[in-house]
Amino acid sequence: MIGFYNYTVWMTYASLISSMTGIFCACSGHIRWALACLALSGLLDAFDGKIARTKKDRTEAEKAFGVQIDSLCDMVCFGVLPVVICFYLGMCSIWGMGVLCLYVLAGLIRLAWFNITTESRPPREDGKKYYQGMPITSIAAILPVFYALGNANAPWFIPALHAVIAVTALLFVLRFPFRKPTTAELLALIAIVGAVMLYVLLRRSNLPFQLVLRWKKTA
């Protein structure tokens, strides 16, 4: 078979499966579980590179393959899945779909830029402590936290969601130094997002899937 199937890519593959599960959940109205899948994909992505680097005898083909599938997976996990979630949350107007299209485009540009800069980056710079712009994986924390802090039934929620997605997309492509989290900071962020998702999943109120159903009836 073509491709690589050793342990260095297992977490990337698992992240993709999690995001696909999230898309299925969102389309069937289970947005809270879709958000949980998004957070899980973020967790898996946080450690897939660290695990891959534990294999010291990786070939150049394995390294290049890892870079490519990581970006392709990120496009689905943190590009497509958040868009599906936001659409079913209520960003289903012409303006909302326009913002979501811009979000996907910004994510695509960022990932393509990351790929070409990774290929041209000298080895001594691999351990640099800053990103250029905000990583696309940040949405795995931003969207669940925004939902947990908000009220999906409030009149301000959908306009605020438009703003959050638009600003996030802009931060993907703006050129500014974004400091990489330390291991301790990363673990703290994972704990916070995990607690947020536990709160979201245990809440009694379900998400207003009726928003989209109402839109479809009037369309």
Q: What is the pLDDT of residue 207?
A: 47
Q: What is the pLDDT of residue 66?
A: 86
Q: Among 22-26, 33-37, 58-62, 161-165, which stretch is predicted with the lowest mean pLDDT?
A: 58-62
N-to-C CA span, the chain: 46
Q: Which residues, including other chains, have CB under 8 Å from residue 155's CB and lie 6 or more apart? A: none
Instruction: List the beta bridge partners of residue 132.
Output: 177
Nearest CA to 85 out of 34, 36, 39, 17 is that of 34
CA distances from 52 to 56, 58, 62, 63 (A): 9, 9, 10, 9
Distance separating alpha carbons of residues 196 and 190, to the nearest angstrom: 10
Query: 126: which DSSP letter?
Result: T
pLDDT digits (tens, 9 = 90+) for 111-150: 999 888 876 665 544 556 888 899 999 999 999 999 999 8
Amino acid present at 213: L
H or E stretch covering 130: strand 130-132
Task: Please report, for the chain, the start and end positions of each structural domain, with discontinuous segments joined by +.
Answer: 7-218
Instruction: List the beta bridge partners of residue 179.
Output: 130
CATH topology classification for 7-218 = Four Helix Bundle (Hemerythrin (Met), subunit A) (1.20.120)
Helix axes 81-89, 10-27, angle to 10 degrees: 20
CA angle 13, 98, 208 (to 5 degrees): 70
Distance separating alpha carbons of residues 132 and 173, to the nearest angstrom: 8
Q: Among 77-91, 174-188, 203-217, which stretch is predicted with the lowest mean pLDDT?
A: 203-217
pLDDT digits (tens, 9 = 90+) for 50-98: 888 888 888 888 888 888 899 999 999 999 999 999 999 999 999 999 9
H or E stretch covering 103: helix 94-120
Q: Which residues of 107-139 are buried (b: 16+ CB within 10 A; e: fewer)?
A: beebbebbbeebeeeeeeeeeeeeebbbbbbbb
